[in-house]
Amino acid sequence: MNEQVLAHLAGADAVLGGLIRAVGPCGLEVSSPCEPFRALAQAIAHQQLHRSAANSILRRMIESCGQGAFPTPQMLLAAPVGTLRAAGFSSAKVAALRDLAEKTVAAVVPNATQLLGLSDEQIIERLTQVRGIGRWTVEMLLIFGLGRADVLPVDDFGVRAGFRAAYGLARMPRPKALAAWGERWRPYRSTAAWYLWRAIELKRAGTLPPPAERIRLPRLVRMRRRRTQRSRVGQRPRRSARTRAAAAPRRRLRSGGASSAPPRRSGARTRSRRHRAPRSRAPGSRR
């Protein structure tokens, strides 16, 4: 790794600089050449499986569908579903593999040469159209398959846990807060992510250095969602109690009559009866 890259990261972030000195030289390796179809097919096979189990499934797929070589998209589409199921793929992964093959044939998934002319976000936008392929999978491809230097997988558990350990935080950082903090690492965020992964290893070994300084992640303003009231066809939307109470005097004024007068106090009627003059009675009438 270029010393200039490490010097830039250490100068931009004192805590990351201490982690770099504790880990040593960067060992980030890029596997080349990278063929998107093969890399994504391998990623689908490894989802939610141990590495040895996924490699066994891939080996059986190569033997049954590719006659000893990694199958092409056309071979994968021509293979019966039962053959892929017999290799060990689940129904969801078979659907993902076939969708990957179809989108590769349709040129939605670019080849290795086309990838060189696309930006990181363009690659993410196109590859995440494949069923079962998310942003994290494409980010791993960008870092380890294409050697892109400025990728920060903020949703990765290892990156977030490494940041928490290296910076001495009590809680896991939120992805958006980590992305805001990582802006200072540009344009070498892939290297920073690699060192954050190593922070977990140092913590397990008990050799993780304490943070050089205490930090406070930037607070992100949360936008409150406005609660929309759905109204059925032919019905008015429901109003709150405060709105109905404010509209009541206006309805009384529009209607006119006694209802337009202001409401009397609760004791007014009692006092009027108490001070009322006695009625006159006819002579000889019973009381």
Active site residues: 156
Dihedrals φ, ψ of 279, to 5°? Answer: -75, 150
Task: Work out the angle between the directed axes of helices 189-205 and 14-23 (0-180°, nearest 10).
Answer: 60
Which pairs from 28-31 meet CB under 8 Å and 24+ separation? Answer: 28/1, 28/143, 28/190, 28/191, 28/194, 29/144, 30/144, 30/145, 30/146, 30/147, 31/144, 31/145
Terminal alpha carbon distance of the chain? 115
Spatial separation of the C-alpha atoms in residues 228 and 64, rounded to whole Å: 55
Peptide bond into 33 cis (omega under 30): yes
Burial of 134 from C-beta contacts in 10 A (0-12 / 13-18 / 19+) = middle
